[in-house]
Structure 1
Amino acid sequence: MQRLVVLFTGGTIASAFGEGGGKGPDSTVVGALRDHLTGFFAGRDVDVICREPWGVPGLDSSDLDPGHWVELASSIAIELENGATGFLILHGTDTMAYTSAWLSLCFPHVDVPIVLTGSQLTLDYMPEDVTVNLRGAAQVAFSDISGVWIYCNWKLIPGNRAHKAQALHPDAYVATNGQPMYFNPEWARKDRKGTVRQPLSHTLSPLAEKAMGHGPDVARNIGSRMAWLFCTPGFSPRLSGEERVLAILGYGAGNAPSGALHAVERAFDGLPKPHVIACSQAEGDMKNPGSYAGVGIASLADRGFTVWSQMDYPVEFIHALGCYSLLASSSAPGFVLSHYLRECSSETPLL
């Protein structure tokens, strides 16, 4: 018998419209979701285990932070030890891509499916996208696919490539610089028994073990040292000097106002310099922050900063990676960053 673990974390998928007209968490919806899953897996030799890490109906995903990520990953690690053959995580769409990015870092070689899904509309809305996403994601969690994924609107997107692109439309996610897998009709056959998985022992990497070994409050404190600067015309940053990883969301290939770059230099004069991740509001393509003189974020490397390129990852992954690098190796986050990103300078050649 397969052992599918369903984690109810909250979000719109577990919400309903209240008397005031706004949607909010609703414990009765969680019961309805359980009924849908029970009916779907009836007769398929699947033992469905339901968990609520933060109670019923859970939390709004906008309130989730690195402390919650550590708790969620630790729960998954325990269930893997207990023989789980698949995971279905019901999550709010607003930060689902951040959570999936985090889980992809903690479980890069997991041999079972870890599938996150949610909804843009509530179950009591007509039409709704709850049951479409719930059943589709359940089919994937019951399939022979492995790794961390987001399922939404008939699309399966790698957990480290997901980006929420629509605020309300049911087709919420895109695969940044990658291609999603689309719905496979074979998943939906009612007589399909699914892939018979033999539970395998899963060993966490030393880095993941270290990152997940912190208590939630400690994880929040360490994760707070991952900071962002969002560049706009005329932007002037305000920094505390305590940042350990600093992502600068600039323009184009990784450029920022020269005044902002000088302000970053002044903020850390005489202080330990953070690792800088040069990002761009232009999500597509590889980033080369050394491609422009004077305004390329890589010019900070000439002023004593270690600068990394965003490469072609979405910003959600970059944020999760920054937190992960600090939790796994607070004294040397660059060791972790180097596994995923490219160190660059103002003289880094064009790709």
Structure 2
Amino acid sequence: MKEFPKILLIYTGGTIGMVQDYATGQLKAFDFGKLLEQIPELYQLDCEIETISFPNPIDSSDMNTGHWKLLVDLIGKHYNSYSGFVILHGSDTMSYTASALSFLLENLSKPIIFTGSQLPIGDLRTDAKENLITSVQIAALNLEGRPVVQEVCLYFENKLYRANRTTKMSAEQFQAFDSPNYPTLGISGVHLRIKEEYLWRSESHKKLRPHTDLDNRIGLLKLFPGIHPSWVHGLLGNPEMKALVLESYGAGNASTESWFIEELQKAVDRGLHIVNVTQCPGGSVLMGKYATSAALAEMGIIDGKDITTEAALTKLMYMLGRDVSSKSFKTIFETSLRGEMT
């Protein structure tokens, strides 16, 4: 008898898990144990599907590091029993959670596909069914007994992305996500096409190493014309903060005003890890290309290259949680660990 891949579907919360009560017009969560009743098309896939849900499903706006640890624990516990995993998650913070898991699951060799929807499963025009069905199909893909996808991905509206390359672009369109600096990994049309040349492959053949130590003593500073010196001073001078993502202009450019450069220098001197990323949806930091970024390069600020803000923040939490030494912190951050930067 043919043995089918086993897929574990993990529901964290979000719009995709809602159905409409037609008597009241209100949305309510449905029992994921009865998933096949809602989407009988899943029976047509050549795989076995089992489901598990957060004890208390949440809106993704309430997602935090504790929930990330719960997901890592769930996957670690069930890793050897399943061929792949599909995580249903609200779209608002999906890129953050998916990026975090890409770092926390070291030596991953199975697919973890994040998906969700803009409309609930019970809605007449829902995008939930296609997103879920195709995500399960991708998670079940195998070639000669090995999973085709072996990384953390995000699938939404016909496109498969590397999770730590994504950012949410729209609150209204079904095409809610984009991967500005890396090609899509797959496209679902009449045929499902996976672009294997772009897939991530770990060079290690070691066992999965789940990590749950995260340090969230980090900050985010988005530059804008007229930013107030005292606000910057207060943020950069916070003694509890260990690292900061600096969202600069264009190719990594920032103000050259003396007060700003002095504040950054003082922060770097006291050991704050500062990562320079661009505010632009696409493109890369090129520190030193323009005079407005030369000072940042000279003081040893970390080059974020083309990493997303979501991936930069979660990578910092992961590295701080691993207690990476100050001496090697910059070098390791500027190295692609899970395909998160070019």
* Bin for the TM-score computed over the shorter chain: 0.7 to 0.9
Which residue of structure 1 lines up, in the alignment, with residue 275 of structure 2?
277
Q: Give the counterpart letter for 1:55 in structure 2.
A: P
CA deviations over 1:247-275 (Å, ceiling 9, x no partner): 11010111222347336337649x73211
Instruction: State the identity %.
Output: 26
Task: State how 1:158-173 maps to structure 2 within 5 Å.
Answer: 158-173=162-177
The question of whether the paired residues in 1 share the 8 Å contact of 2:246 and 2:276 is answered with: yes
Task: State how 1:96-245 maps to structure 2 within 5 Å.
Answer: 96-107=94-105, 109-144=107-142, 145-146=148-149, 147-180=151-184, 181-183=186-188, 185-187=190-192, 203-205=207-209, 209=210, 211-212=211-212, 214=213, 219=214, 222-223=215-216, 225-236=217-228, 237=232, 238-239=234-235, 240-245=238-243
What is the alpha-carbon distance in structure 2 between the residues aligned to residue 156 and residue 250 of structure 1?
29
What is the alpha-carbon distance in structure 2 between the residues aligned to residue 159 and residue 234 of structure 1?
34
Which residue of structure 1 lines up, in the alignment, with residue 55 of structure 2?
55
Within the candidate set 326, 331, 341, 1:338 is matched to 331
Once the two structures are TM-superposed, the CA of residue 90 in structure 1 deviates from its matched residue by 0.4
Find out whether 1:28 has 2:30 as its counterpart: yes
Which residue of structure 2 lines up, in the alignment, with residue 321 of structure 1?
315
Distance verdict in 2 for CA 1:47–1:340, change over 3 Å: same
CA deviations over 1:295-314 (Å, ceiling 9, x no partner): 32x624545xx411111122
Once the two structures are TM-superposed, the CA of residue 7 in structure 1 deviates from its matched residue by 0.4
Q: TM-score, normalised by structure 2?
A: 0.79
What is the alpha-carbon distance in structure 2 between the residues aligned to residue 263 and residue 283 of structure 1?
28
Q: Give the counterpart letter for 1:125 in structure 2.
A: D
Once the two structures are TM-superposed, the CA of residue 15 in structure 1 deviates from its matched residue by 3.0
Distance verdict in 2 for CA 1:233–1:91, change over 3 Å: same
Distance verdict in 2 for CA 1:279–1:45, change over 3 Å: closer
Q: Find the residue that maps to 2:67 and give its secondary structure.
A: helix
Q: Give the counterpart letter for 2:295 in structure 1.
A: S
CA deviations over 1:88-110 (Å, ceiling 9, x no partner): 10011111111111122233542
What is the alpha-carbon distance in structure 1 between the residues aligned to residue 86 and residue 295 of structure 2?
44
> How many residues end up aligned between the 2 structures?
308
Q: Give the counterpart letter for 1:174 in structure 2.
A: D
What is the alpha-carbon distance in structure 2 between the residues aligned to residue 12 and residue 95 of structure 1?
12
Once the two structures are TM-superposed, the CA of residue 33 in structure 1 deviates from its matched residue by 3.8
Q: Give the counterpart letter for 1:90 in structure 2.
A: L
Q: Give the counterpart letter for 2:263 in structure 1.
A: V
Once the two structures are TM-superposed, the CA of residue 160 in structure 1 deviates from its matched residue by 1.6
- Over the aligned positions, Cα root-mean-square deviation in angstroms equals 3.1
What is the alpha-carbon distance in structure 1 between the residues aligned to residue 327 and residue 278 of structure 2?
20
Distance verdict in 2 for CA 1:253–1:4, change over 3 Å: same
Distance verdict in 2 for CA 1:337–1:184, change over 3 Å: farther
Runs of 5+ in structure 1 lacking a partner? 189-200, 343-350
What is the alpha-carbon distance in structure 2 between the residues aligned to residue 22 and residue 9 of structure 1?
23
What is the alpha-carbon distance in structure 2 between the residues aligned to residue 23 and residue 167 of structure 1?
20
The question of whether the paired residues in 1 share the 8 Å contact of 2:277 and 2:306 is answered with: no
Range with greater deviation from structure 2 (107-116 or 71-80): 107-116
The question of whether the paired residues in 2 share the 8 Å contact of 1:241 and 1:267 is answered with: no
What is the alpha-carbon distance in structure 2 between the residues aligned to residue 41 and residue 15 of structure 1?
18
Find out whether 1:9 has 2:23 as its counterpart: no
Within the candidate set 63, 86, 89, 1:88 is matched to 86
Within the candidate set 281, 295, 298, 1:299 is matched to 295
Runs of 5+ in structure 2 lacking a partner? 143-147, 194-204, 336-341
Distance verdict in 2 for CA 1:268–1:340, change over 3 Å: closer
The question of whether the paired residues in 1 share the 8 Å contact of 2:277 and 2:284 is answered with: no
Distance verdict in 2 for CA 1:153–1:245, change over 3 Å: same
Which residue of structure 1 lines up, in the alignment, with residue 305 of structure 2?
311
What is the alpha-carbon distance in structure 2 between the residues aligned to residue 186 and residue 153 of structure 1?
14
What is the alpha-carbon distance in structure 2 between the residues aligned to residue 65 and residue 262 of structure 1?
33
Distance verdict in 2 for CA 1:45–1:151, change over 3 Å: closer
Q: TM-score, normalised by structure 1?
A: 0.77
Distance verdict in 2 for CA 1:157–1:266, change over 3 Å: closer
Once the two structures are TM-superposed, the CA of residue 41 in structure 1 deviates from its matched residue by 4.1
